[in-house]
Every structure is written in structure tokens, then in C-alpha cells.
Amino acid sequence: MKLKLVLIFLIGAFAGSTVHAQGQWTDLFNGKDFDGWKQLNGKAKYEVVDGVIVGTTVANTPNSFLCTEKDYSDFVLELELFVDPQMNSGIQFRSESLADYNNGRVHGYQCEVDPSDRAWSAGIYDEARRGWLYTVDINPPAKSALKNGEWNRYRIECIGNSIRTWLNGVPVAHLIDDMTPKGFIALQVHGIGNNKDKEGLQIKWRNIRIKTENLKPAPYEGVPVVNLIPNNLSEAEKLQGFSLLFDGKSANKWKSANAETFPEKGWSSEDGMLTVLSRGGGGDIVTKQHFAAFEFKFDFMFTDGANSGVKYGLGNNGPSIGLEYQILDDSKHPDAKNGVVGNRTLASLYDLIPSEKDKRFIKGANEWNRGRIVVFPDGKVQHWLNGKKVVEYTRGDNIYKALVARSKYANYEGFGMAKESPVLLQDHNDTVHFRSLKIREL
């Protein structure tokens, strides 16, 4: 009897050490039934077939979610999925379904499953809340990671405010955000409306496992970072070479475009924002440092009917004359209808190239937008708005010269061609707020 007890103890101890050696992974799906799961929102069909979860589209029902009954905060989640190339899906995490929010609609972070030509799989979407947070356009090499017609392996790492995704071993997204620290995990079958042609499409999931203890971040892999925490510089951004041009308090890295000191009026640095005040008379401000090739990330919020801009390539024709990323309330400011083919609208290269915008990626007055300007060493320049590239051109080529020749800058010699210049925030006599101003040299 004693020998049996000793053997049982040893077997139990050995089993426990095996779990520890495997990193304390826990299976979320037992391969037999939906114990520990529940379905919310839509009426898509979920079933277990040969040890695999199968989700099937159903017409005339909203997005459906098979959700864990348990919430998770910090974790590493791994699973495999096989998706019909005609459908869309996603993996919810740190998600919620609250009666007092959107009638109990499932909302929260979603790791995208996108077999379409857009190829945003493993990008991060905020379901029923803020929309796209990390498009895979930001990380082009990852757009080919999904393999249609094959099982695909997803990995999601959430540790503190750092959210990272991998697809088939390829690093895809790196988001810094703190809106929702915990929530359930869910498998989505996207709604198809009344499209009977898409009824019966399937997605399958297997080998769903999670680790919640002894978590260590995966090694840094250089993936572009989207940081939604105001005026915060993450460790990953520091490694990429970014520095803050505004820390939420001090404007000591800026000065007047026409003086060596910061304007005494017309600008404020309060409540975590660098703000140009309506008719404050402060004038344009510029960075004290000059840049050649660079990447500049910035958040901006314009008030009703406001006009402003971010300028670069300054110096050949005065301290405030240069290339401009237009900031404008297109719906209320008359300049949106001036110029040529919309080349004075939001995020355009002012008076030269109109931005190609998607309405879903435009935030209106009194909402925060995320801007990005990239000036490459070879002369290529990009404007981005909320994760979408909206302008691309090559400074100094024949097309650029032709655009300048027909613009209001035609008589400015060497317009926009200064080798180095500061970055300028424009005072156009309207209230506009800036924050999370970050730059790195390329």
C-alpha cells in the first residue's frame, strides 16, 4: 500500500513538472464540446467536428462570437485556423459585452483574419468601438503571411499595455494601448447581411491554448509601433530611434519660426496638448532641431471649421514656406473646395497632391487623428492618416517639378527642396491641438 502511494506521488510530481516544462500552457478547447464557451450577438452556426471548432456563416444575422466564459488579462494565446478565402473573421481578446455599452454588443480588440487582397490578417481592429488601430499597410512585409487553403498559426501576446501579433511565425502588429486591460477571448464568424451567396462559408479552429503565468515578452523584432497612449514613448520606439518632441508639459524643443524663443502668446502647453489658439497671434512654431530624412508621428485634433498644417522642407524661401501636410475640417472650411481636385483637403500635400482617403479612416472635428510623415533618404515622401497611406511622391523628380509649376509656389525657387529643415506647426488663426509628437532620423 505504501509503495502504491509513493508511486502515485511520483507520477503526480512528474506530471506536474511536465506541465511546468511546457510553459504552463492551458488548452481552451477540449476537442469535444463547448465547455467554458458561450455564443454572443449573432446566430452563426458553431459546432465541433472531428476535434475542430467549425463556424459557418448564416444570412440575416450580425457578427457572431464564440466567447470564453473566463476573462484574461496578460497572456500569450496560440491557435490554428483554416478560413474560406471568401469570408472575413477575427479573434477577439480583452473584449467585453456590457449591457450599458452599445446594447451589450461585443466590443474590444480583434486580431484580424483577412484572406482578401487587402491582406490585413493579424492586424488589430477595435470591434464596435474605435475601428482600425493597426493596419498591416504599416508593416508591408507581413501582408503575405496568411496562406489561403492552409492551416495558419496565430499568436497574440498581451503583456501590460503592449499587444503584439504573429502569423505563421511572421511578426505583424505591435500596439501600445491601455483602454481595456482584460476581457474574454472569442472566435468570430463575420455577418454576411442578406447575401445568400456567402451563406455556408466556414472557418475552422484547432489547438487553442493559452499561457498566463511566467510571461516574458518575445524578443524585439523591429515591427513598426502604433502607440495610442498620449505622449508616451515605448521601449520599442526608443529602440527604433524615436524621441519625443513634446512630453505633454514642456514646449522646450520648439521655438517661434521668426524668433529664437517660444511665443509668449497664442500657444499653450496644457492638459497634455500643444495647442495653437484661435486668433492668438502666436505665429508658426518650429523644432529647434533640423532634419533631413525622418519619420514624424503626431496626433492632432482640429476644432469646428479649423485650418492648420505640418510643414517640412523649409528654408529656401523663408522660415514658413515649404511642403505642407494639410490639417483641415473638410466639411466646414472653404479651402477644401479650393485648389485643384481636392489638393487642399485633409492630409493632402497642400496645393500639390490630393490625399486619397477612405471615409472610415477620417476622424472629424474634436476627435483625435493620427498623422505620419515619412521623408526617405532617396527623396520619396509619404503622408499617412490613421494607419492609411494617403499621399506618396518623390521630391525633386519631374512629376514633382510639374506639380510645383502649376501651384501657388511656382515662382519660389527650389521650393520644398531644402536638404535639412525644422518641422513646423502652423498657426492659421484657428484652435488646433497636437500631442504625441515623435520623430526619428532615417
Amino acid at 221: E
Taking residues 3-12, report their average pLDDT. Answer: 38
CATH number at residue 116: 2.60.120.560
Taking residues 84-103, report their average pLDDT. Answer: 94
Higher per-residue confidence, 328 vs 10: 328
Per the structure, the complete domain to which residue 341 belongs is given by 230-441
Enter the pTM of the model.
0.93
Q: Are residues 194 and 289 in the same domain?
A: no
Q: Are residues 433 and 284 in the same domain?
A: yes
* Per-residue confidence (pLDDT) for residue 23, from 0 to 100: 63
Q: Are residues 150 and 285 in the same domain?
A: no
Give the tens place of pLDDT for each residue, 129-177: 999 999 999 999 999 999 999 999 999 999 999 999 999 999 999 999 9
Q: Are residues 192 and 258 in the same domain?
A: no
The three cell numbers of residue 4 are 502504491
Taking residues 181-194, report their average pLDDT. Answer: 97
Residues 6+ apart with CB under 8 A from 159: 74, 215, 217
* Per-residue confidence (pLDDT) for residue 1, from 0 to 100: 43
Give the tens place of pLDDT for each residue, 341-393: 999 999 999 999 999 999 999 999 999 999 999 999 999 999 999 999 999 99
Q: Are residues 165 and 251 in the same domain?
A: no
pLDDT class of 243 with cuts at 50, 70, 90: very high
Is residue 18 situated within a structural domain? no
The number of domains in the chain is 2
Q: Are residues 247 and 329 in the same domain?
A: yes
Give the tens place of pLDDT for each residue, 245-293: 999 999 999 999 999 999 999 999 999 999 999 999 999 999 999 999 9
Q: Are residues 402 and 432 in the same domain?
A: yes
Q: Are residues 145 and 109 in the same domain?
A: yes
* Per-residue confidence (pLDDT) for residue 2, from 0 to 100: 43
pLDDT class of 99 with cuts at 50, 70, 90: confident
Q: Are residues 206 and 239 in the same domain?
A: no
pLDDT class of 10 with cuts at 50, 70, 90: very low
Q: Are residues 184 and 297 in the same domain?
A: no
The secondary structure of 45-70, three-state, reads EEEEECCEEEEECCCCCCCEEEEECC
Give the tens place of pLDDT for each residue, 71-87: 999 999 999 999 999 99
In this structure, what is the dihedral angle of CA atoms 236, 238, 241, 242, given to the nearest 10 degrees?
Answer: 100
Q: CA 343 to CA 324: how far, in whole Å?
A: 11
